Structures are given as structure tokens and as C-alpha cells.
Amino acid sequence: MTPHAERTDPARRGIRAAQVGMLLNAALAIIKLLTGLVGHSYALIADGIESVADIFSSLVVWGGLRIAARSADSEYPFGYGKAEALAAAIVALMLLGAAIGIAIESVREIMTPHHIPAPFTLAVLVGVMIVKEILSRRVRAIGRDVGSTAIRADAVHHRADAITSAAAFVGISLALVFQWPPADDYAALLAATIIAYNGVGALRPAIADLMDRTPGQDLLRRVAAAATAVDDVRAIEKLKVRKVGMGYYVDLHVQAEPAMSLQDAHVLSGRVKSAIRDAVPEVQGALIHMEPFEGG
């Protein structure tokens, strides 16, 4: 496999996951909206609205990954990887927007008398919960494997849909048992709160990636260990790592013997770079600064 293919393969996996999610969400949205309208359940309608938002979130993730997979060029010498984090932020904001819209409509429905939901709506919700939970776990696993913030945010969106379905199930059940129609609407309001919480949780890592926050200490230790294990490296300092798309870029100062020739120092920097990329495949690029060793 060529280096470019290795770089874009994670993006292809993410794009496939977004495509599958988009198709399933389209089918589920139609089913839930029609069932909610016919069965007099606003919680189910709210669930359908959340599925519609899922369709657009999958489209955003799809587009973000396609852009992030592009190779660097003269206009974007560091590549297009930030599009992936930007897509994650947009998905998170869409979650928050859906939560606000559902909450507003839930309050309006609570204040408006309406019919008790139909019992058959519960069967639809059980099926939706199973499908969305399976999809959420699958997408989350892919996002974890390829290191994609956008894919993980999409998985959060799928999980939020499963949660709204569960809340709707509880609300409709209470409405049917106690003959209290507003229970359905309170369930939708609770679901909106949970969706908002998940939206904030998905937004934080996206913002962190956009602002080049230092990744976990485990990755830094792996990079440092790979660099210091190279022969002729006396010490390292000023290790900086930032996430770009589904990979990382390293900026590292390496100290070597002061008497080393410029040619040898150049060769050593290449060996350090190769050692880092071999030990930490997630690293897509490394900038090595050579300095004279000043220790004892």
C-alpha cells in the first residue's frame, strides 16, 4: 500500500460509516415521524427530528473526512486535516440546536391538551433503540480505531438518538399506564436535556483539536521513547505534538555531540524521524531541530 493510501484508508472507513449511518437515519426518521403523527406522540416526533439532524450530521462528517483526506498543497502546506475537527464541531453544534428545538416544542406540547399516545408506538421505539445502539457502538469503534474526532462525534449523535427513543418509550409507557398525556412531552424534554449534554461532550474534543491541544501523555511518551532510543541522540527537549485530522505532527529538538558534522546531524535527524514514525504510526509528519548537547 502506498503512503498516500495508508493515509486515506482511515478516511475511507469513516466515510463508509457516515454513509451507512445516513441511510439508516433517513429510514428511521421517516418511520418515527409517521408513527409519531399517527400515534399522537410528540416524544416520537422529537425522536424523528433528532434522526433528521443525524442525517445532516452524517453528511457533515462525510464531507469533512473527504476534505481531510486531501494531500497537502501550496495553499495548505500542512494538509486539510483540520476539516475533520471542524466537522466534529459542526455536528456537536447541531446536537445542541436539536436539543433546544425539541425543548421548546416539548414545553409547548405540555401546555397544549392532546391525545394519549397509541400503544403501537412502543414497538417502533424498541426497534429503533436496538438499531441505533448497535450503530452507535460500531461507529464509535471505527472512530477510536482511526483516531477521528468527527466519527466519534457522529457516534455520540447516534447514541443521543437511542437515548431519545428510550426516553420516549418511558414517557409513552407512563402516559398509557396513568392515562396522563403530558408524560410523553416531559419525556421529550428530558431527552432534549440529555442531547444537550452529549452535544457539549462532543464539542469539547473538537475545540481541543482545533486549538492544537497537546494529546495524551501516553502518545508523548511513545514519541520521546522512540527518539531517545536512536543511537547518537544524547537528549531531547521541547517536544510538541498536535493533532491534524486523524494523525499527528511532531515538533522536537534533538541534542547531539557538538562536534558532529552538519551532514551527520542531518542524517541523524532523518533517523529520528523514521524511528518516531515506525514506533508511532499515527504520526504523519515530524520536524526535527538539531542542537548541540550541553549536558554533563
Task: Answer yes or no: do 190 and 241 share one domain.
Answer: no
Q: Are both 275 and 200 inside the same structural domain?
A: no
Q: Residue ranges of the chain with pLDDT lower than 70?
A: 1-11, 43, 114, 296
Average pLDDT over the chain, rounded to an integer: 83
Per residue in 9-42, pLDDT tens?
666 777 777 778 788 888 888 888 888 888 877 7
pLDDT at 8: 47
Q: Are residues 136 and 254 in the same domain?
A: no
Using alpha carbons only, give the angle 100, 87, 142 rounded to the nearest 5 degrees: 105
**Domain co-membership, 206 together with 226:** no
What domain range includes position 231? 217-292
pLDDT tens digits for 193-206?
888 888 898 889 88
Looking at residue 188, its pLDDT comes to 79
Q: Are 243 and 273 in contact (CB under 8 A)?
A: no
pLDDT, residue 5, reads 43
Residue 255 confidence (pLDDT): 93
| Closest of 76, 229, 237, 248 to residue 148, by C-alpha | 248
The answer to whether residues 200 and 228 belong to one domain is: no
The domain that contains 251 carries what CATH number? 3.30.70.1350
Q: How far apart, in whole angstroms, are the C-alpha atoms of residue 249 and residue 112?
A: 55
What is the β-pairing status of strands 247-256 and 235-244? antiparallel
What is the total residue count of the chain?
296
CA triplet 23, 202, 200: central angle to 5 degrees? Answer: 120
Same domain for 191 and 259, yes or no, is no
Answer yes or no: do 154 and 77 share one domain.
yes
| Sheet with 235-244, edge to edge strand ranges | 235-244, 247-256, 283-292
- For residue 196, the number of C-alpha atoms closer than 13 Å in the C-beta half-sphere is 13
- One domain, residues 129 and 46: yes
- Percent of the chain at pLDDT above 70? 95
Give the type of residue at 240.
K
Domain count, the chain: 2
Nearest alpha carbon to residue 248 among 73, 90, 12, 78: 78
Question: Following DSSP, what letter does each residue of the chain receive, concatenated?
Answer: --HHHHHHHHHHHHHHHHHHHHHHHHHHHHHHHHHHHHHT-HHHHHHHHHHHHHHHHHHHHHHHHHHHTSPP-SS-TT-STHHHHHHHHHHHHHHHHHHHHHHHHHHHHHTS--PPPPTHHHHHHHHHHHHHHHHHHHHHHHHHHHT-HHHHHHHHHHHHHHHHHHHHHHHHHHHHHHT-THHHHHHHHHHHHHHHHHHHHHHHHHHHHHTT----HHHHHHHHHHHHTSTT--EEEEEEEEEETTEEEEEEEEEE-TT--HHHHHHHHHHHHHHHHHH-TTEEEEEEEEEE----
* 242 and 117 part of one domain: no
Question: Which of 210, 228, 257 represents a domain boundary (last residue)?
Answer: 210
Domain boundary among 210, 239, 260: 210
pLDDT for position 88 = 86
Model pLDDT, residue 296: 58
List residues bridging with 252 in a β-sheet.
288
- pLDDT in the model for residue 240: 93
Question: How does pLDDT run across 162-186, given as a tens digit for each residue?
Answer: 877 888 888 888 888 888 878 878 8
pLDDT at 287: 92
Pick from 210, 236, 256: which residue ends a domain? Answer: 210
Rounded-to-10 torsion of CA 227, 229, 230, 231: 140
CATH of residue 84's domain is: 1.20.1510.10
